[in-house]
């Protein structure tokens, strides 16, 4: 509002000297804004930008804050509740050791200075492991590491949690580092037809001991309304009757190539958006209906 008032008052005067003069007079206004307990942001950056990364050396994550004000303190909770000024706080980074729903709010002068930001963290065997792709992800969205960071994406495909492929299938292999017992396999896909983001036509989970010879475990063909313009997440999950021992996991998602004749825009320029959780270890995961493949069938990578 201060900048708008200055613009309207000064008309078309937009010289460097006019800007410098405005900057000088603006400084006095901050003391008044503070006295009125009005929350305002920095002139040229967000109040704070949050990000979260997996701790590859441990079992948790690190929540980072890039602060626009040096005196911002970030108060957080780990159970999804709204942070208050009495909640634990950090300045630049804090370690989170367990899965959950951390929520963080920037405070300044004892007041909440922005909306809360929340993350959903899930532990799984693939977290922090190496992922290899047959087709590179789109550079316009998140890197492939989001597939193994344990941070779950929302229905907003701009949230930085989704890896994306345009007009390509997905073929991802995760090296767990050693052979382990796997109790369930799952992965997330996004549907946002208005943005030409479609769920897969077919998803196949496979495992391997050596990364060369593969045993398919499960096939799912999601039944979706391709004309539904809502935003949805599709969780594809398979839980075997007993644990499967393997070192490598493979997820192949085939895109729709035979869209209905009246589908707007046809088959081109469609996207697959993918997130975790491949390799989740929950023993209580519900089993989606699909077509489990008989054991012993092998395919070459």
Report the pLDDT value the prediction gives residue 58, as an integer from 0 to 100.
67
Report the pLDDT value the prediction gives residue 283, as an integer from 0 to 100.
33
At 170-185, the pLDDT tens digits run 999 999 999 999 999 9
Q: Tell me the residue ranges of DSSP E strands in the chain.
A: 48-54, 61-67, 73-77, 89-90, 93-96, 103-108, 111-112, 117-118, 130-133, 163-166, 170-182, 185-192, 202-208, 213-220, 231-238, 244-254, 271-277, 291-292, 299-300
Report the pLDDT value the prediction gives residue 139, as an integer from 0 to 100.
95
Report the pLDDT value the prediction gives residue 277, as an integer from 0 to 100.
55
Instruction: List, as one string, the DSSP characters of 141-169.
Output: S--GGGGGSSB---S-TTSS--EEEES--
Helix axes 16-35, 2-10, angle to 10 degrees: 140
Q: Hey, how many other C-beta atoms are within 10 angstroms of the C-beta on 197?
A: 20
User: Which pTM value belongs to this model?
Assistant: 0.79
Mean pLDDT within 236-263:
93
At 89-144, the pLDDT tens digits run 999 999 999 999 999 999 999 999 999 999 999 888 888 889 999 999 999 999 99
At 278-294, the pLDDT tens digits run 444 333 333 444 444 43
């Amino acid at each position: 509002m201060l900048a708008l008032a200055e613009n309207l008052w000064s008309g078309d005067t937009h010289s460097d000297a006019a800007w410098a003069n405005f900057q000088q007079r603006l400084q006095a206004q901050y003391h008044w804004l503070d006295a009125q307990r009005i929350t305002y942001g920095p002139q040229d950056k967000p109040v704070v930008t949050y990000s979260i990364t997996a701790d590859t050396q441990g079992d948790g994550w690190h929540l980072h804050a890039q602060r626009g004000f040096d005196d911002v303190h970030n108060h957080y909770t780990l159970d999804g509740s709204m942070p208050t000024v009495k909640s634990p706080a950090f300045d630049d980074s804090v370690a989170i050791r367990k899965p959950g729903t951390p929520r963080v709010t920037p405070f300044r002068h004892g007041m909440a200075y922005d909306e809360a930001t929340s993350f959903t963290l899930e532990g799984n065997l693939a977290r922090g492991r190496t992922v290899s792709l047959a087709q590179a992800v789109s550079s316009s969205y998140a890197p492939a590491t989001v597939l193994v960071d344990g941070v779950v994406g929302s229905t907003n495909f701009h949230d930085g949690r989704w890896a994306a492929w345009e007009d390509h299938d997905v073929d991802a292999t995760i090296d767990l580092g050693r052979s382990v017992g796997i109790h369930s396999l799952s992965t997330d896909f996004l549907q946002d037809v208005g943005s030409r983001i479609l769920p897969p036509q077919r998803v196949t989970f496979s495992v391997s001991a050596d990364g060369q010879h593969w045993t398919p475990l499960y096939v799912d063909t999601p039944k979706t309304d391709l004309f539904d313009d809502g935003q949805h997440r599709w969780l594809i999950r398979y839980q075997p009757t007993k644990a499967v021992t393997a070192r490598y996991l493979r997820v192949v998602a085939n895109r729709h190539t035979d869209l209905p004749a009246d589908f707007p825009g046809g088959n081109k320029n469609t996207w697959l958006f993918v997130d975790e959780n491949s390799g989740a270890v929950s023993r209580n995961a519900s089993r989606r209906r699909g077509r489990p493949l008989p054991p012993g069938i092998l395919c070459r990578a």
